Structure 1
């Protein structure tokens, strides 16, 4: 089967290639959006835990 795929070399035009790249790029941006920040109070508590952990070593 790999031999069949290797011999099947259909070319796509520049416009189709650009459309595919744009669509993949959009999907990646949606998938890789930064995670929302924690509420301020939780962020403070996590920082306190890290600080105490460092102080205990």
Structure 2
């Protein structure tokens, strides 16, 4: 078997970033109609962020 390393077949970082951003944007748009996070879930997310900040 021959391994083909053709740079033309690889997605460069900039293009990959653009695709990821576009997919993320599309997901946010499709999720937008959902109701707001429950207050308990919001509290848990804030706690998680606080703990992450403490570790940095």
Q: Is the structural similarity TM-score above 0.5?
A: no
TM-score, normalising length from structure 2?
Answer: 0.44
Bigger Cα Rg? 1
TM-score, normalising length from structure 1?
Answer: 0.43
